[in-house]
């Protein structure tokens, strides 16, 4: 599979893998056991420059490619999907939205602190009653002179409990549905803006997903990102990148699960020989390898299209859908082949199994991605 990468991409992959092995892997168990957002990882990502992969040099970034972003997502997720989640917003969807739709002042104000780790950024769309149906959101923004007044609530927002800057989506007129949705920057400490509880999730125990509340929260007109009523376009455009990132998370998790299972089945003996020598086990391992390669190919295609400046919404949806289901299946098989030990927290595959389920749900459920793909077949 590495033959599909350029020499520069292979060098980048090696560098990121070395960084992950040195700076992240030694801390993963501790950070996961705390069941809270691993702030320490923010500094490590920022110091290495990873948050700025997709950001032009003029704003302090590396000016890299979508393929490099995908490679980094995969390599980080091999260590921890939680840490890949922490990596995602400042590197991907938040900065992507600001770069594409922000004013020069907004780019200068929000991007450098995000990629330097000075601020923790969030991307807030999901609501208690509006998950997949984002156009039906109830959070409102009302114009009042030179200010906007935001009221409503968001949920399952990554880093919501620790975030400094939130890109929040609200509707200026619920009757307009999708055409009323608008994006705003809201900073921590703004009166009327508070964070609620962080959810106790099945997985991602070194990250967080929290509630956000807005009660008569006033922000200046300069906090508006893009145009009023164009917020859903902003969100969906950035979510293409987010979905590719999720595909990378799934691939990294599955890669780690397969590697752990190959080692275990070579060492574990039953009936006088390693269990990896039994045909039934060998065939399971073969299927896992094929599934992983197929997912990687779909993700690589989407990344190449993005870097070529082509629309890749359908390809990102296909990559995320297939990779998420692949990761869940591989994690299940990995636990099965580890036997009883696979159900203990001493084995990383137990964590992979839990984390894999969440990838099937966030950044668009599998069902939503099937709808996206199905619509593309008739376009």
Q: Which of 193, 242, 224, 214 is CA-nearest to residue 88?
A: 242
363 as an active site residue: the answer is: yes
Determine the Cα angle at 33 with ends 32 and 34, to 5°.
90
Q: Which listed residue (9, 127, 363, 371) is catalytic?
A: 363
DSSP H or E segment with residue 357: helix 348-359
Coil, strand or helix at 12: helix
Distance CA 69, CA 249 (A): 11
Question: What sections of the chain are H helices per DSSP?
Answer: 7-19, 28-34, 39-48, 66-79, 81-91, 93-101, 104-115, 231-267, 279-307, 313-338, 348-359, 366-376
Residue 116, Cβ neighbours under 10 Å: how many?
A: 17
CA distance readout (Å), 53 to 2, 97, 304, 312: 20, 15, 16, 19
DSSP state of 131: S
Catalytic residues: 363
């Amino acid at each position: 599979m590495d033959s599909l990468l350029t020499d520069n991409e292979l060098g980048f992959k090696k560098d990121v893998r070395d960084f992950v092995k040195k700076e992240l892997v030694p801390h993963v168990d501790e950070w996961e056991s705390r069941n809270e957002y691993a702030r320490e990882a923010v500094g490590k990502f920022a110091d290495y420059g990873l948050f700025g992969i997709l950001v032009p040099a003029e704003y302090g970034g590396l000016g890299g490619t979508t393929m490099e972003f995908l490679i980094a997502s995969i390599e980080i997720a091999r260590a921890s999907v939680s840490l890949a989640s922490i990596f995602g917003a400042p590197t991907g969807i938040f900065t992507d939205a600001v770069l594409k739709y922000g004013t020069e002042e907004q780019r200068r104000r929000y991007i450098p602190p995000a990629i330097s780790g000075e601020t923790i950024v969030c991307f807030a769309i999901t609501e208690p009653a509006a998950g997949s149906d984002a156009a039906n959101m109830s959070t409102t923004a009302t114009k009042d002179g030179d200010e906007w007044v935001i009221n409503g609530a968001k949920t399952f927002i990554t880093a919501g409990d620790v975030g400094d800057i939130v890109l929040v989506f609200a509707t200026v007129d619920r009757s307009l549905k999708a055409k009323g949705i608008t994006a705003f920057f809201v900073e921590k400490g703004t009166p009327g803006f508070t964070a609620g509880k962080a959810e106790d999730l099945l997985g991602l125990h070194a990250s967080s997903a929290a509630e956000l509340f807005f009660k008569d929260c006033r922000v200046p007109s300069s906090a508006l990102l893009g145009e009023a009523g164009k917020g859903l376009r902003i969100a969906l455009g950035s979510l293409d990148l987010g979905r590719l990132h999720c595909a990378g998370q799934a691939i990294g998790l599955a890669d780690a699960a397969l590697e752990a299972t190959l080692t275990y089945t070579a060492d574990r003996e039953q009936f006088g020989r390693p269990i990896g020598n039994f045909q039934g086990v060998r065939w399971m391992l073969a299927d896992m390898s094929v599934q992983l390669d197929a997912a990687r190919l779909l993700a690589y295609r989407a990344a190449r299209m993005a870097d070529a400046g082509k629309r890749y919404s359908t390809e990102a949806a296909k990559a995320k859908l297939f990779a998420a289901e692949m990761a869940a299946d591989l994690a299940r098989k990995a636990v099965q082949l580890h036997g009883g030990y696979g159900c203990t927290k001493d084995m990383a595959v137990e964590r992979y199994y839990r984390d894999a389920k969440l990838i099937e749900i966030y950044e668009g459920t599998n069902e939503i991605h099937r709808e996206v793909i199905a619509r593309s077949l008739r376009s």
